[in-house]
Chain A
Amino acid sequence: KQEVTQIPAALSVPEGENLVLNCSFTDSAIYNLQWFRQDPGKGLTSLLLIQSSQREQTSGRLNASLDKSSGRSTLYIAASQPGDSATYLCAVLNQAGTALIFGKGTTLSVSS
């Protein structure tokens, strides 16, 4: 059964730092991998989607990589800002394309 793990569970950094969030998954047979952001008490916002055939995706200050063979993904956030404070969730879509399996998230706090 696919399991998704995110490390660390929580992270506090000063404004301006570059940081990396980690995600690992146990079954490499995935359709795609997605990173989401969730603000307290709110729904999820999609940040980046990497298809299984791709190695990375970039959007502004965010860069996500995928290494399917090792079952790992990283989300790199450059020049962090207080507005980046949120919980970041990693999720893998199974090969049938029917179910997203989520990690428990990394809660990021960026102080000014």
Chain B
Amino acid sequence: DVKVTQSSRYLVKRTGEKVFLECVQDMDHENMFWYRQDPGLGLRLIYFSYDVKMKEKGDIPEGYSVSREKKERFSLILESASTNQTSMYLCASSFVPPDTQYFGPGTRLTVL
């Protein structure tokens, strides 16, 4: 079974803090993705990566950066957290050519 794990299920941070969200997959997938999910807005793509050290902006990259130093790990970084970044963050991975995306359990981040 494919497993995508995220470092925390729930996280509470203060405005201005630097926040790291970690995602690890165990299926040797080339593609990895970060989404955020908000009520009424659905899932929106923040960044994706199709290879180690490669990254592409999604629909809403502002305020975020990413890092992929190893194939199995994709990190989402909030350089200076703000209250409007309070959301559910979902990581996903897939093979190339595109197959179904496998999602992690999500991290519910609250920024106070």
Contact = CB atoms under 8 A, between A and B. Distances in A.
B97 A97 contact: yes
Contacts of A34: 100-101
| Chain A facing B: main interface SS | strand
B24 to A, nearest CB: 14
Interface size class of A (residues with CB under 8 A): 20 to 34
A93 B48 CA distance: 13
B37 to A, nearest CB: 9
A43 B90 contact: yes
A42 B42 contact: no
A97 B98 contact: yes
B42 A41 contact: no
A76 interface: no
Contacts of A46: 100-103
Contacts of B41: 104
Interface of A: 31-32, 34, 36, 41-46, 49, 89, 91, 93, 97-100, 102-105
Given A34-B101, A91-B43, A105-B42, 10 more contacts: A43-B90, A44-B90, A44-B92, A44-B101, A44-B103, A49-B99, A89-B42, A98-B56, A99-B45, A99-B48
